[in-house]
């Protein structure tokens, strides 16, 4: 779908450039943008390396484990059917922490692992209900835990929106970090609404 959208926007831009006689300006803008994209990628690479390195230091120092432990009550509230000590909780906690720190690229691998473990839990639950082996179960519908995790992951509470700060710095913002407070308020509201929505829908599904 995104390919069609991008293709549609490119065709509109080309068509408008031809109609208005600004084909040369369009070509120059495309070349300049390509150069800016490379510069932005290098900038983001440095920031990504720095924050990912800090997360690794925090992990080896035991800070990540403590932060994960602090999320246990929240995880129990949001995912009551996930067994205590299950790997899914660890991956979900790591994903949430990475998102809070604005490290979406670091959160993605943990999110994928969490979804994989949630699929295992759902397969085992369905197998127990039907009295067959988990390997014989084909999951065709996302579980409540999967949907809850996805919605919360999308809402993404952020204390430090690293990516947005980097973009603003790259494009010459006077105060790139000025986005921190508005971003915190916006993501806090979106996360609260996401949690409320998930709880309502999960309870509705239990009836």
pLDDT tens, 19-28?
887 777 777 8
Asked if 95 and 114 touch (Cβ cutoff 8 Å), the reply is yes
pLDDT in tens, 136-178: 677 777 888 888 888 888 887 787 777 777 778 777 788 888 8
In a domain, 2, yes or no: no
In a domain, 144, yes or no: yes
In a domain, 14, yes or no: no
Q: Is 24 exposed, middle or buried (0-12, 13-18, 19+ CB in 10 A)?
A: exposed
Q: Name the phi and psi angles at 57, rounded to 5.
A: -60, -45
Instruction: Average the pLDDT over 73-102 and give the result.
Output: 82
Q: Which domain does 87 fall in, by range?
A: 41-206
In a domain, 121, yes or no: yes
- What pLDDT does 123 receive? 84
In a domain, 193, yes or no: yes
pLDDT at 64 over 60: yes
Q: How much is the mean pLDDT over the chain?
A: 79
pLDDT at 66 over 80: no
Domain count across the chain: 1
Number of residues written out for the chain: 207
């Amino acid at each position: 779908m995104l390919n069609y959208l991008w293709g549609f926007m490119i065709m509109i831009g080309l068509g408008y450039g031809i109609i208005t006689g600004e084909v040369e300006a369009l070509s120059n803008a495309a070349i300049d943008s390509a150069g800016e994209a490379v510069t932005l990628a290098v900038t983001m690479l440095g920031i990504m390396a720095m924050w990912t390195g800090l997360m690794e230091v925090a992990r080896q120092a035991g800070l990540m484990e403590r932060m994960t432990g602090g999320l246990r009550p929240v995880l129990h509230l949001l995912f009551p059917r996930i067994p205590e000590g299950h790997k899914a909780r660890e991956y979900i906690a790591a994903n949430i922490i990475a998102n809070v720190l604005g490290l979406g690229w670091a959160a993605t691998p943990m999110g994928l692992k969490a979804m994989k473990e949630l699929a295992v839990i759902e397969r085992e639950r369905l197998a127990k209900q039907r009295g067959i082996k988990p390997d014989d179960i084909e999951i065709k519908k996302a579980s409540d835990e999967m949907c809850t995790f996805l919605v919360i992951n999308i809402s993404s509470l952020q204390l430090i929106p690293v990516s947005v700060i980097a973009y603003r710095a790259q494009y010459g913002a006077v105060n790139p970090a000025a986005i921190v407070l508005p971003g915190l308020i916006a993501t806090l509201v979106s996360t609260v609404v996401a949690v409320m929505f998930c709880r309502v829908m999960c309870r509705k599904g239990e009836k």
